[in-house]
Amino acid sequence: MNTPKLNINALSLTVIFALSVLNVQAESILIRDARVHTMSKAGTLGHTDVYIEKGRIERIGEDLEITTVGVRVYDAKGRSLTPGLFAGITNIGITEVSGVEETSDGRLALQEMRPEFDVVPAYNPNSSLVPVTRIEGYSFTLLGAGAQGSIFGGQGQMVSLDGGYESFFGDPVLFINVGRDTSSLSGGSRAAQWMLLHQAMDEADRPPLPSESSLLTRAGRGALSVYANSGRVVFDVDRASDILETLKFAAKYGFDPVISGGAQAWMVAGQLAAARVPVLLDPLVNLPRNFDSIGARLDNAAILQASGVTVAINGAGSHNARKQRQMAGNAVSYGLSHNAGIAAITSNPARIFGVSDKQGRIQRRMPANVVLWSGDPLEVTSVAELVIINGRVMPMESRQTRLRDRYLPENPDMPRAYIKP
């Protein structure tokens, strides 16, 4: 018995939304004839079917015979199917409007070191930024923390953009800022930054005596002691010399470091590769924004990849996370391979943060986080046509699409120039 094929373009968005809301349990879904970028050892598979059941990918192959009743079928017609994309380190769900203080929970405005600051309890899955990002093909993000008066930014965690309240996964991540941006917090000298960081780590190991002044609270010392045992720590750093100092600092205290920013990372690519330290970078940084990024160049990602460094894309920001895909495309245009460009926003960030069993790949028995594209996933003219997160078809609507549909009707009586925007 042949399973009927269904063109997703013919589906009503209203029907999709209604079904996805009513079906709290994951559905049985079959995607026919896709070009599947598995981002695993299987590589890219042409004219391949993917069968999803109970939230997981159950079968991958050509011309699958599925006898399950009630399967929702989508005909990809050879279009690309990728894992859900990584939105980068963002404040999605913890910041609504950056300029409105009461809607921004990602920064701590205390003039002291508080590594115990954790942004996770502030996450709001009903934030308008969640669906705005999700319908562009993004299924997960890393919540970042930033303290305005401290070298320690705080802690965050990976979260799935499925709209759930308990959608966190993976281990917590600590954020540390090094270099120009935090010089004012250490008496104007980056040398003093390392002095303070070493003192903080010493306090975590040996609490100060009552007569001694301390940098940390008891909770802060406890937080740092946890990360000193192979904890994942993101260092926001650009200058090559600071990156090398970061590698030594991380090795001394047992951190599992990630370099974020890395404008001059290409200069120390060999050392990063030898230390097996990954880099999250913005491939559009090609001009010296400051003295820490004088050596910025557009082929930074390509040089790092060629040297054996794991590269992921980051830097589009919370309100423009959709541009992560464009940034990956720019990296490809400057020497990064196409497959590596997709990996930089799928499998690589998942592997870097130890969540490759949840996100980043299309593989049997993994949670179904996949996106069907209208064209090349790295082309700005392509759009996400189908987004599935944890086995559920996501509604392809957001506050922006509802405003568009309300104020830009398909058949207006007046030309578009006369329609109120």
Nearest CA to 239 among 177, 197, 187?
177
Distances in Å between the alpha carbon of 390 and those of 164, 354, 393?
11, 18, 9
Amino acid residing at 408: L
**Domains with residue ranges and CATH for the chain:** 1-84+362-421 (2.30.40.10), 85-359 (3.20.20.140)
- Within 10 A of 161 (CB to CB), how many other CB atoms are there? 28
Q: Using H for helix, E for strand and C for coil, what is the string for the chain?
A: CCCCCCCHHHCCHHHHHHHHHHCCCCCCEEEEEEEEECCCCCCEEEEEEEEEECCEEEEEECCCCCCCCCCEEEECCCCEEEECEEEEEECECCECCCCCHHHECCEECCCCCCCCCECHHHCCCCCCHHHHHHCCCEEEEEECCEECCCCEEEEEEEEECCCCCCCEEEEEEEEEECCHHHHHHHCCCHHHHHHHHHHHHHHHHCCCCCCCCCCCCHHHHHHHHHHCCCCEEEEEECCHHHHHHHHHHHHHHCCEEEEEECCCHHHHHHHHHHHCCCEEECCCCCCCCCHHHCCCCCCHHHHHHHCCCCEEECCCCCCCHHHHHHHHHHHHHCCCCHHHHHHCCCHHHHHHCCCCCCCCCCCCCCECCEEEECCCCCCCCCCEEEEEECCEECCCCCHHHHHHHHHCCCCCCCCHHHCCC
Residue located via tokens 């690589």: 348
Q: What is the pLDDT of residues 180-227, one digit of tens each?
A: 777 666 777 889 999 999 999 999 999 888 888 899 999 999 999 999
| pLDDT (0 to 100) of residue 289 | 85
| pLDDT (0 to 100) of residue 404 | 83
Amino acid residing at 55: G
pTM: 0.90
Instruction: Take residue 323 and report the two structure tokens written for it.
Output: 């541009």
| pLDDT (0 to 100) of residue 416 | 64
| pLDDT (0 to 100) of residue 16 | 40
| pLDDT (0 to 100) of residue 109 | 76
Residue ranges for the chain with pLDDT beneath 70? 1-25, 111, 149, 183-185, 409-412, 414-421
Q: How far apart are CA 301 and CA 256, in angstroms?
A: 21
**pLDDT above 90: percentage of residues in the chain:** 76
| pLDDT (0 to 100) of residue 112 | 79
Q: What is the pLDDT of residues 275-334, one digit of tens each?
A: 999 999 999 999 888 899 999 999 999 999 999 999 999 999 999 999 999 999 999 999
